[in-house]
């Protein structure tokens, strides 16, 4: 996983609350067995008209947001289905960070697993930045995970809080499975202690 430390990029403002994962990547694109290649389908039904042609009004299709790598959006981003394809699509499109007042739990975890920094800012700060990203496009911001700050050409515009463990995983691009496997003895001993008392958890014969 690519580590996330400091990233500077153009901000795309998507001013809407409760954006669900069906919007981020519609279900017809979930049939692939690959972990990559979803960028073209990001926000598919919003980016294209019913006829399949590009919808010029949609924010990511506008010239001033071309190459945007920071998504700024409303509260509860990523609600709904657990599809990690949503995080893959955002990453494949070129986003490195998502700034919003809040995120749905499963989405935030999926973002973490892919080095996509889903960071919560105060709602009032998000509103302010949304207005600026619309009126001053292209607005370029710098997200510094180490310092927990968002800055505009060196001027601090926001700071955020993040759980130390999440921060470390993102900063280091850590393999989470590798971390758990360090506890393999604890897992084995848990399995041995648990099952004599918990026959329901251990089928007598493998399925």
Q: Which residues bind another protein (CB under 8 A)?
A: 15-18, 20, 22-23, 26-28, 30-35, 45, 50, 74-76, 79-84, 87, 102, 104-106, 109-110, 113-114, 163-165, 176-177, 179-181, 183-184, 186-187, 190-191, 194, 199-203, 206-207
The answer to whether 112 and 166 have CB atoms below 8 angstroms apart is yes
Q: How far apart are CA 165 and CA 163, in angstroms?
A: 6
Report in angstroms the alpha-carbon separations of 22 from 87, 108, 184: 12, 15, 37
Q: C-beta of 140: minimal distance to another protein in Å? A: 25
Angle between helices 105-113 and 164-172 (to 10 degrees): 30
SS (H, E, C) 42-66: CCHHHHECCCCCECCCCHHHCHHHC
Determine the 3-state secondary structure of 150 from DSSP: strand
CB atoms within 10 A of CB 112: 21
The answer to whether 76 and 102 are in contact (CB under 8 A) is yes
Choose between 114 and 134: whose C-beta lies nearer to another protein: 114
Q: Residue 174: CB partners within 8 Å, gap ≥ 6? A: 1, 168
Q: How far is the CB of 67 from another protein (least distance, A)?
A: 27
User: Smallest distance from the beta carbon of 158 to another protein, in angstroms?
Assistant: 19
- Residue 82 Cβ vs another protein, minimum distance, rounded to whole Å: 4
Among residues 8 and 114, whose Cβ is nearest to another protein? 114
- Name which of 10 and 170 has its Cβ closer to another protein: 170
151 or 171: CB nearest another protein: 171
* Closer to another protein by Cβ: residue 154 or 203: 203
For the bound state, the minimum distance from the C-beta of residue 165 to another protein, rounded and expressed in Å, comes to: 5
């Amino acid at each position: 996983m690519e580590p996330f430390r400091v990233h500077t990029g153009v901000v795309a403002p998507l001013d809407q609350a409760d954006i669900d994962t069906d919007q981020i990547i519609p279900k017809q694109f979930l049939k692939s067995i690959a972990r990559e290649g979803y960028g073209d389908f990001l926000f598919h039904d919003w980016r294209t008209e019913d006829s399949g042609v590009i919808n010029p009004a949609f924010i990511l299709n506008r010239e001033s947001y071309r190459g945007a790598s920071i998504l700024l959006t409303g509260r509860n981003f990523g609600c709904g289905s657990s599809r990690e394809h949503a995080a893959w699509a955002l990453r494949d499109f070129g986003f490195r960070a998502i700034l919003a007042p809040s995120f749905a739990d499963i989405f935030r975890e999926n973002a973490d697993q892919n080095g996509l920094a889903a960071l919560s800012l105060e709602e009032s700060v998000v509103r302010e930045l949304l207005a600026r990203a619309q009126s001053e496009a292209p607005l370029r911001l710098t997200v510094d995970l180490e310092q927990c700050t968002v800055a505009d050409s060196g001027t601090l515009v926001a700071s955020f809080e993040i759980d130390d463990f999440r921060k470390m995983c993102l900063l280091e691009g850590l393999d989470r499975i590798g971390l758990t496997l360090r506890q393999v003895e604890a897992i084995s001993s848990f399995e041995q202690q648990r099952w004599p008392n918990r026959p329901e958890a251990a089928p007598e014969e493998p399925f």
